[in-house]
Amino acid sequence: MPTIVEKGNSNGDSIKLKVAEATQEDVGKGIVRIDPVYREKIGIEEYGVVEIEGDRTTSALAINTNPADSGLDIIRMDGLIRANAKISIGDYVEVRKADWKEAINVSLAPVSKGMHISASSNILASVFRNRTVSKGDFISTTHFKRSKESPARSMMLEDMFSDIFDLSFGLGEIKMQVVSTSPKGIVKITEITELQLLPEAVELPPEQSIPTVMYEDLGGIKPAISKVREMIELPLKHPELFDRLGIEPPRGVLLHGPPGTGKTMLARAVANESDAYFVSINGPEIMSKYYGESEHQIREIFDDAEKNAPAIIFLDEIDSIAPKRAEVTGEVERRVVSQLLSLMDGLKERKNVIVIGATNRPEALDMALRRPGRFDREIVLHVPDQDGRLEIFQIHTRGMPLADDVDLKTLAETTYGFVGADIAALCREAAMSSLRKILPQINLEEEHIPAEILEKLSVTSEDFKLAQKD
């Protein structure tokens, strides 16, 4: 039972709840789920506004938990709300009834340089209707079904014109930051709200960078995510646990699985979720582009990570850096393997630097790399099954105005053998197909595409069929 920790302050009672991840359907909607019993304890209705206090304070709409979570003292929220509250899964937050006002003005700015959002503020205002925000919060466009209540949510496709689609690993979702609000404090965006869109990306202080990949952006790999959390996130965040138990936290973790199953994304997600510095080395690149300088480059990267610890070093395609030495002919290659081994051994002193290696061919690795204290843990990513594919489809259609005839379940059924990267490509292709249909009506010389045309954009089942044929 969570305890009521405060009483009688201006906002009423507050309650401590443990943070859990959101389900796919809830991602990007600005909602949290809590048990109605706790919701009533803090005195709010369903869809009421809660203030969530972690290392930072943010807000969201409170919805009842799904039956499976009934009675648990948890609060489910997506990665963006976790970033806004500056907390991660497993942390505790204080939740209370928010003191909020209706927003008169809200200014938003894109969070990535070079990203320009040309959607009209009317469209945005309807995308964000009923969201609660305060200055500094991140907010994102979400997935939605085209329906009568939300007539104008076609921003994401408009942005494809500006190549926005490849941002954040191709997720069709746009993240923005709230630069100012009037009145100040927690405000709700309603029909009276004027939204203003600043053209320039905001310069974020490093500690407040926007997480590009969160666990909810990965589908069909729940078991791998929980292993990663235990093996990597836990020691990075709480090295003292390992000290207390007198055991060594892992130095190196090997991720293996076919290409396109999410190894790179998973490494980035765990870095984001554990607030760790992330450096990445691409195996083939460091061996060819920096030929002769590979050792130096690798050493620099390890130094950089140690300076910025807690840190994660990601070695992509590690088999090209550290193949079996018996099979290596060149002197340089041999030296690079030995150096990698000694750098890993040198990390022993540092509890908060973890090396993640990714490979499709674990059997091709030098055996010495797998000894205790080096890459002695491994996590396998499998080709997703039907349920996994469904989750991945949900993720990659999050930002799309899907027509009613699109059935993601059927798509998941008919894409046997597809990995995450294939599904991402299929969704992108379907969106492009819907775009092609309206291209003749668009005058590309014009700076803004008229709202009536954006209104018509919707990705249909036929678009997915065409995409599957290619």
Q: Is 224 in the site for ligand ADP (CB under 6 A)?
A: no
Output 37 or 279, the one with its CB closest to ligand ADP.
279
Output 214 or 449, the one with its CB closest to ligand ADP.
214
The correct pick among 98, 155, 424, 427 for binding ligand ADP (CB under 6 A) is 424
Q: Who's near 178: CB < 8 A, 6+ residues apart?
A: 106, 107, 108, 133, 134, 135, 136, 137, 138, 139
Applying CB under 6 A, the span of 218-226, 272-280, 293-301, 345-353 interacting with ligand ADP comes to 218-226
First to last CA, the chain: 54
- Binding residues for ligand ADP, rule CB under 6 A, total 19
355 secondary structure, DSSP code: E
Output 220 or 323, the one with its CB closest to ligand ADP.
220
Q: Is 220 in the site for ligand ADP (CB under 6 A)?
A: yes
Q: Is 271 in the site for ligand ADP (CB under 6 A)?
A: no
SS3 (DSSP) at 18: strand
Tokens of 469: 């044929």
Q: Is 357 in the site for ligand ADP (CB under 6 A)?
A: no
Distance CA(219)–CA(176), nearest Å, equals: 23
Applying CB under 6 A, the span of 115-123, 148-156, 254-262, 370-378 interacting with ligand ADP comes to 254-262
The correct pick among 262, 323, 357, 362 for binding ligand ADP (CB under 6 A) is 262
Q: What amino acid is encoded at 50 in this protein?
A: V
Q: Is 265 in the site for ligand ADP (CB under 6 A)?
A: yes
Tokens of 460: 């249909």
**Cβ atoms within 10 Å of 335's Cβ, excluding its own:** 13
The correct pick among 76, 96, 263, 398 for binding ligand ADP (CB under 6 A) is 263
SS3 (DSSP) at 12: coil
The correct pick among 170, 222, 324, 364 for binding ligand ADP (CB under 6 A) is 170
Distance CA(435)–CA(467), nearest Å, equals: 12
Q: Is 133 in the site for ligand ADP (CB under 6 A)?
A: no
| Minimum distance from residue 195 beta carbon to ligand ADP (Å) | 29
Distance CA(108)–CA(175), nearest Å, equals: 10
Tokens of 40: 């009533």
Output 17 or 318, the one with its CB closest to ligand ADP.
318
Distance CA(230)–CA(172), nearest Å, equals: 30
> For residues 84 and 186, is the Cβ–Cβ distance under 8 A?
no
Output 133 or 412, the one with its CB closest to ligand ADP.
412
| Minimum distance from residue 392 beta carbon to ligand ADP (Å) | 4
Tokens of 29: 């909607």
The correct pick among 347, 421, 430, 449 for binding ligand ADP (CB under 6 A) is 421
Q: Mutual orientation of helices 331-346 and 294-307 as an angle, nearest 10°?
A: 10
Sign, CA torsion 256/260/264/269: negative
The correct pick among 63, 167, 221, 228 for binding ligand ADP (CB under 6 A) is 221
92 φ/ψ angles, rounded to the nearest 5 degrees: -105, 145
Q: Is 373 in the site for ligand ADP (CB under 6 A)?
A: no
> For residues 55 and 85, is the Cβ–Cβ distance under 8 A?
yes
Applying CB under 6 A, the span of 99-107, 255-263, 332-340, 343-351 interacting with ligand ADP comes to 255-263
Applying CB under 6 A, the span of 3-11, 219-227, 234-242, 461-469 interacting with ligand ADP comes to 219-227
Tokens of 270: 């765990």
Q: Is 399 in the site for ligand ADP (CB under 6 A)?
A: no
Query: Residue-wise over 236-246: b if at least 16 C-beta within 10 A, else e?
Result: bbebeeeeeee
Q: Is 362 in the site for ligand ADP (CB under 6 A)?
A: no
Q: Is 261 in the site for ligand ADP (CB under 6 A)?
A: yes
Sign, CA torsion 205/207/211/212: positive
Q: Is 80 in the site for ligand ADP (CB under 6 A)?
A: no
> For residues 381 and 219, is the Cβ–Cβ distance under 8 A?
no
Q: Is 264 in the site for ligand ADP (CB under 6 A)?
A: yes
Residue numbers of the site for ligand ADP (CB under 6 A)? 169-170, 218-221, 259-265, 358, 392, 395, 420-421, 424
